[in-house]
Structures are given as structure tokens and as C-alpha cells.
Amino acid sequence: MSVDTPRRIVLLRHAKADWPQVSDHERPLAERGRKDAPVAGRRLADSGIEFELAVCSTAARTRETWKLAAPQLPHRPKTVYEERVYDASPGELIAVLNEVPDDVSNVLLIGHNPGVRHLVDVLADASEGDALERMHRGFPTSAFAVLSYAGSWKGLEPGTATLLDYWAPHE
């Protein structure tokens, strides 16, 4: 694959989490989250993007979101559970994406706010349609943004991507 071939980066915020008396990292999904995660998975499948790699935070709510969303996809990508995605800044998330092998063209990152939402703002130098306007109304749980990027993953940096689409479960 040429490094100039457009790549897709999809940033998925975990589904709605519950607030039991556990550490933040171990918070499970709430009932609504268990309902919304498969819906997000179906919308990801409807996007037509074939993911070769999913990078998922190690937090319980992101792992559970992925477990419920992944079966909706026509092909389950290789999954890497990455502790650096938990509570990550946009810069830390870019560093994780910079490590993606160049033979991977489409990546799904399952993470947390505010990092995921801010990463869209940092990466996207442009957007198509009303995706950016809709995203700025909020980036709720189970929402995802689809970005396009051309170049080597090592070259991913602020302002190098285009926001193609944004979806939230209750739009």
C-alpha cells in the first residue's frame, strides 16, 4: 500500500458508563451503554470502512464497548489494548497512532473524552458537510468521528486530517 493512499481514522468514544464504587478505570457500562454500543457497531459497519486494526483503551468501559460493537462488523480487526489511550491527551493519542504499521490503512480507536473529541479538533484542518458543526454540539458516549489522512502514520500530526463524518446515537 502506498503511504499516499487515503487512510481512515475512526475515533469512537466508549458507551455510557455506570458509576459504581470502583476505580474510574474499572467502571462498567450502564444499561444504556450496553444498548448503544451494538448500535454504534452497526453504524460503523454501515460506514463501509474495513478496519485492519482496533486500538482500545484498557479501561473496563472501553473494552466492554468494543466487545459489544465488534460483532456488528463484517470483519473483526486485530485488536490491541493500549493502556496509554486511557485518560490520554490528543498528543498522547497521536503518539499511539504514529506507531501504527504503514501496511494498515484503517484504524478504529476506542477511547475517552475529552481526549478523543479534542483529537478531532487537533487533527482536522478541514471538514466536509456539517460534521464539525454537529460534533461541536457535543461528543456524547458511543459517538464517533471519521477522519481521512494521507501519508505515513509516523507523519500524522496536528492539522493533517479531514473530518469526513460524525455520528452520535441520539442525533
Cite the annotated binding site for substrate by residue number.
61
Per DSSP, the residues of 62-94 read HHHHHHHHGGGSSSPPEEEEEGGGTT--HHHHH
Q: Which residues are annotated as a binding site?
A: 61
In this structure, are residues 56 and 110 in contact, taking their beta carbons and an 8 Å threshold?
yes
Count the neighbouring beta carbons within 10 Å of the beta carbon of residue 125: 11
Contacts by 41-47 with C-beta closer than 8 Å and gap 24+?
41/68, 41/69, 41/70, 41/71, 41/72, 41/73, 42/72, 43/144, 43/167, 44/10, 44/12, 44/69, 44/72, 44/73, 44/108, 44/144, 45/72, 45/73, 45/74, 47/10, 47/146, 47/165
